[in-house]
Amino acid sequence: MAVKRIRTEVYFDGEHLFRDGPFLVTIRGDSIASIAPATPGSAPADVAVPFLMPGLVEAHAHLFLDGALLDRAERSAYLAAAPARMLATARTNVEKCLRAGVTVVRDAGDRYGINHAIRGELRQRRPVAIEVRSSGTGLRRASRYGAFAARAIDPDGIVAAVADICRTSEHVKVMLTGIVDFETGDVKGAPQFDVEELALIVQQARALDRPTLVHCSGVAGLEVAVAAGVDSIEHGFFMTRDILHKMAEKDIAWAPTFSPVYAQWARPELMGLPGGASDNLARILDAHREHVAMAHRLGVALLAGSDAGSQGVDHGSGLIDELLHMLAAGVPLAAVLTSATARPRRRWAMPPARIAAGQGTDLILLDRCPFDDPEALREVRGVIKGSACLNFTDHGTSGMADSSPGTVLHDNKPAVNSLPDGRS
């Protein structure tokens, strides 16, 4: 039996909070037929929850990497693992995402093709509650940062390389700078592409309707990314007010990815960082919080992406951590949630997933209201997307007042059983 009616006390539609419930959300087929105040005369609900919102969008993850794998030597060795092992990791990661309420993952690049492979597997399944948007293999310069996620190209190979990526990828990833050096507290090396080269990548991708996401930290790289007019800046450490103004003006999005740097700061013993690095990390994170709050005030389009797969950043829970980092930086919760729901879908020309009559179902059910306690985002009871309906609670313990236990899960098995390799 499918869920036809959900009673909720509060819901967030992707941009606005509706508190004056209870509401009755009626689903017909794979769309929301109506939302109306729940009254004593309303039809009985199949399930009652405190809170509903659209499925979450993870804007930056690497599905082939296991963020829970902490040992540095093991992480290096993993990059030589067999494709079957990497694909198994991606399956586990997709499952972790679903359980965290993530229904869309943008994979930010891998050179092994696992992002395309897992996307293909998920597309084979009906119904499926999560979709992967793949960047395939990103672009970088030879001998520069990003070999795990990108192919090396020369400037004269840009047009052909972008066309090749766009044949199979929803996004074009570019490695523009190196990573943050925590020992020195800055970014190593000059940008990998100049303004003209990067603008050519952006223009070629845009001609094929593909947004560009650009790995970039440090002022030199940020200046290039902004001048080239990329679609989104990923990481963006060492941001400045001046660059944020330009980003707002040019409508360049920002996925600040607090999580990987926070993980380094929180577990220095795992990272083998020398003394002094932790002060640098604290300083970098403080400045990042300040600039993310400033970005919100200036109207820069923030996107929530955790860089899951990075050391210490697990899939699914990493995105929730990221949302809480944005909140702690001073971005109001509604804006944080928009950065992980309505905004990425709009910017990527996807169906909106708005909780409103006439919209396709893509929603998550929470056991508590995150506007009372943001930690409630960690307690996803279930996901309803299209004709997929997943219940993450144990039968008989869900407290679904208006529902006999298990009816949220109609013709599908729980998420753990519904994924491609049939693990349970």
Residue 111 C-beta: closest distance to Zn ion, Å: 13
Binding site for Zn ion (CB under 5 A): 108, 307
Residue 309 C-beta: closest distance to Zn ion, Å: 7
Please state, as a whole number, how many other Cβ atoms lie within 10 Å of the Cβ of residue 10.
22
Residue 37 C-beta: closest distance to Zn ion, Å: 44
What are the tokens at 279?
A: 């002060």
Nearer to Zn ion (CB atom), residue 52 or residue 61: 61
Burial zone of 185 (CB within 10 Å; 0-12 exposed, 13-18 middle, 19+ buried): middle
Nearer to Zn ion (CB atom), residue 24 or residue 108: 108
51: Cβ contacts below 8 Å, ≥ 6 apart:
8, 9, 10, 11, 12, 365, 366, 367, 368, 369, 370, 376
The H-or-E segment that residue 104 falls in is strand 102-107
Which amino acid is located at 35 in the chain?
Answer: I
Residue 22 C-beta: closest distance to Zn ion, Å: 41
> Is the separation of the CB atoms in 202 and 173 below 8 Å?
no
Task: Give the start-end residues of each E strand in 222-265.
Answer: 232-235, 253-255
Residue 214 C-beta: closest distance to Zn ion, Å: 11
Residue 307 C-beta: closest distance to Zn ion, Å: 4
Nearer to Zn ion (CB atom), residue 13 or residue 170: 170
Nearer to Zn ion (CB atom), residue 103 or residue 311: 311
Q: Check residue 6 and report its DSSP letter.
A: E
Nearer to Zn ion (CB atom), residue 216 or residue 342: 216
Nearer to Zn ion (CB atom), residue 259 or residue 403: 259
Question: Of the candidates 267, 312, 311, 257, which has an alpha carbon nearest to the alpha carbon of residue 289?
Answer: 257
Query: Dihedral of CA 178/186/248/287: which sign?
Result: positive
Question: Of the candidates 114, 134, 130, which has an alpha carbon nearest to the alpha carbon of residue 122?
Answer: 130
Question: Of the candidates 106, 174, 92, which has an alpha carbon nearest to the alpha carbon of residue 138?
Answer: 174
Residue 25 C-beta: closest distance to Zn ion, Å: 35
Q: Given the structure tokens 């407290």, which residue do they identify?
A: 399
Residue 113 C-beta: closest distance to Zn ion, Å: 16
Nearer to Zn ion (CB atom), residue 7 or residue 140: 140
Nearer to Zn ion (CB atom), residue 24 or residue 340: 340
Q: Check residue 353 and report its DSSP letter.
A: -
Q: Given the structure tokens 């390389």, which residue do they identify?
A: 161
Separation of alpha carbons 194 and 210, rounded Å? 20
